[in-house]
Chain A
Amino acid sequence: MRLRMAARLVRGLVIAISATSLAVAAQAQDKKIKIGVVFDLTGPLAGGGSELGYIGAKIILDHFAKTGVEGYKIEAVYADAQSKPDIAINESVRLLEQEKVDMVLGFFSSAQCVPVAARVEQLKKFMWMTTCISSAVFNEKGYKYVFRPQASGDQFGMMTMDFIAQNAKAKFDKEPKDLRVAIIHEDGAYGVDVSKGNEAGAKKAGFNVVMKEGYSATAPDLSALVTKLKRAKPDVIFHTGYNPDITLLLRQAREQGLKFGALMGHGAGYGVYEKLKEGMGADATYIFNADPISIWLANQKTMDPKLPPVIKMVGEEFDKIRPGVAIRSAHVGIGASNTYVFMADVLPRAIKKYGGVDPEALRKAALDTDIPEGGTMLGFGVKFYGEGSPMAGQNERSFPVVIQYIDDKSSVVWPKSQAQREAVLPLPKGTTYSNQ
């Protein structure tokens, strides 16, 4: 009898212990971070590069969803900003307040980033921007919960000007003061910001700025702009645009006989070579573009050794989604790399060191980020300007590079430390836009 009671007691204890451990396991399993991901999947910006950024981010999120991070499950909730700032704000707020996501990630357009960042900060939630570049997002705002590993727009503008400044004498046989430059840009937050960088760079280099003008990316006609460019006779055109305004401008430039020595693009539409090629044919050759380096062009020898396999995985996954693409757009790598930094560096630290995934833990973990150059797939390091800095939340170690499209290949031509080939400058004689 006693023996039976003892057996029952032991059985009960075993069941109780099992139940407790099961409950603990279930609780561990329940630990998850919900990430709201916002990109433009419809509307003009989707084809202008946003969807490619989304694909890059999704590949990384899917990768981590399989393994989890420090015992946390990863659940991504996707939303379409429809290429409209108001939708981007509404969707971000919906994700945070109704879907109860722990943070929002993504964002392609600077016109969306600026108001969304303000709203998310107001809600004291965490925001991780992968793609948009406008400096206006951070400038003097003093945000605490908004972070961006991506380079800022003025850096793009300064980089292309620096490239031309260093090549003015050798390639154009002109002193900087004699070099005629035109700065044209779409008139949203993105274009305006890059053009400010262009202007500052031109002033620093001492260029003769013969024209500076913004235009609406949805304008049905840019012929007056082209006529003014013809009148201004620039040696180099610095252009910031989305697509299809880039194609429209260059088509009308060809039709109206505009000639110049070089065309410097600044990301967005210029980062999608397939579309440039489709719209302009052989005229897409020799165009320059400033962007973070494509992860497939980055120097893997100087990179953290754990990153090349990730780059390979992103490439393979992208090829499954978009087979037969001649040049994988830098936008895919930007989305992937900047998402990877969060998932592989910031998130584990937030969980381990700061005990969870609440905005405060994520913020502290982001501020602790200290990745040296070569520590990301894009080549640059990551350290965020801290509180008190006018650019608090912006990565101080990021930089874009200048690439040139030649014979269906893109090669880094600037800065010299990253250059893979000599730039073809000015446009060779016989090409459509050449002023030689």
Chain B
Amino acid sequence: MQAFLDVFDIYLLEAVINGILLGGVLALLALGLNLIFGVIDVTWICYAELVMIGMYAMYFMVQYYGVSYFVAAPFTILLVAILGAALHYLVIAPLLTAPPINQLLATGGVLFVLQSFATVAFGIDFRNLGIRLPVLALGDMNFSYARLLSFLAALVGMVAVYLFMTRTFTGTAIRAISQDRQIMALMGVDTKRIYLITSALGGALAGLAACLLVLQYDVHPFVGLSFGPITFLICVLGGLGNFIGGFIAAFVFAEIISLGGLFSDLEWGYVLAFAFFIVMMFIRPAGLLARRR
């Protein structure tokens, strides 16, 4: 009994809930990237760097110009949405018919441009928004409101994107394009416009992630390196373009990290998560929720 209690104590429950909250952060990040992946079929390697630019925007508006967090947030979402659209217009659109490796290299180039831009423009200092949200205490367990907010935003974001994609004409057009890029143009759909809308939407979701991540992390030009690779893995694990799959993959990944880290060294949590990813790529290469053929 004692051995059971030693393992299944209150800290295990705390780790499980923290895993869920981390899953919320990762799901939020994966949401926009999944949209781009699924529709435009282009890998935005620089996605986490768009989040970084959004975090800087929040920092400067709130810290330097004294703008309220709630006023700054919509501006940031709008700014990153414009950035997303600009990225598509300037970099992706000319390469849409190019081999995937060219698109990958181009967005990889944008990653370095954005990192270098941030280094030159904002310096290498770590900047902190300075907003400390209260903590939710449940007995011996404590949870961060910032993470709870991310979790809720991810949930609401996913439902909103799902409804948009299934209940609106534009959403239907986006899904149709993701199924057949060439045929939709023949049916009179303005594919350029749809791509631009999708990119802006992906950017807006990156902006939303930035607004919430800046409450939890310091912003610096290389903050994207902590999240970029893991976000890609989640999108692939969930099945490219599959929002629900991505959402579930984020929580599975986060729980492996959290519980693996609790029962062994923290590093092993990440090793297990990546090992799980590799195994799943053999078992379900099209994603967690893909139908078996």
Contacts and interface: CB of A to CB of B under 8 A. Distances in A.
Contacts of B11: 227-228, 230-231
Interface stretch (B32-40, B80-88, B168-176, B224-232): B224-232
Contacts of B290: none
Contacts of A275: 125-126
A43 B9 CA distance: 40
Contact of B267 (A187, A247, A252, A256): A187
B137 A221 contact: no
Most chain A C-beta atoms within 10 Å of own C-beta, residue among B140, B142, B259, B267: B142
B54 to A, nearest CB: 16
User: Interface on chain A toward B: helix, strand, loop, or mixed SS?
Assistant: helix
Contact of A244 (B147, B220, B262): B220
A256 B14 contact: yes
B218 A279 contact: yes
Contacts, number: 120
A257 B142 CA distance: 6
Nearest to A187: B267
A218 B228 CA distance: 12
A187 B268 CA distance: 12
B265 A214 contact: yes
Given A42-B119, A44-B222, A221-B22, A255 B262 contact: no
B143 A255 contact: yes
Interface residues of A, number: 40
Interface string A181-222: 000000100000000000000000000000001111011111
A227 B218 contact: no
Contacts of A247: 126, 128, 218
Contacts of A230: 11, 14, 140
A332 to B, nearest CB: 15
B226 A218 contact: yes
Contacts of A251: 216
A243 B222 CA distance: 12
A214 B260 CA distance: 14
Contacts of A248: 217-218
Contact of A47 (B125, B226, B265): B125
A9 B22 CA distance: 91
A388 interface: no
B19 to A, nearest CB: 8
Interface in B2-20: 9, 11, 14-15, 18
A221 B257 contact: yes
Contacts of B267: 187, 214-216
B222 A43 contact: yes
Interface in B130-157: 130, 132, 135, 137, 140-144, 146-147
A251 to B, nearest CB: 7
B125 A213 contact: no
A46 interface: yes
A228 B119 contact: no
Most chain A C-beta atoms within 10 Å of own C-beta, residue among B123, B258, B261: B261
Contacts of A43: 124, 222
A300 interface: no
11 contacts: A41-B124, A44-B222, A215-B266, A219-B226, A224-B262, A225-B266, A247-B126, A256-B135, A256-B142, A256-B144, A257-B142
Interface of A: 41-44, 46-48, 51, 83, 187, 213-216, 218-225, 227-228, 230-231, 243-244, 247-248, 251-252, 254-257, 275, 278-279, 281
Given A223-B21, A225-B261, A278-B128, 18 more contacts: A44-B222, A214-B266, A215-B265, A219-B270, A220-B217, A221-B258, A223-B15, A223-B22, A224-B266, A224-B269, A227-B14, A228-B262, A230-B14, A230-B140, A231-B9, A256-B142, A257-B140, A257-B142
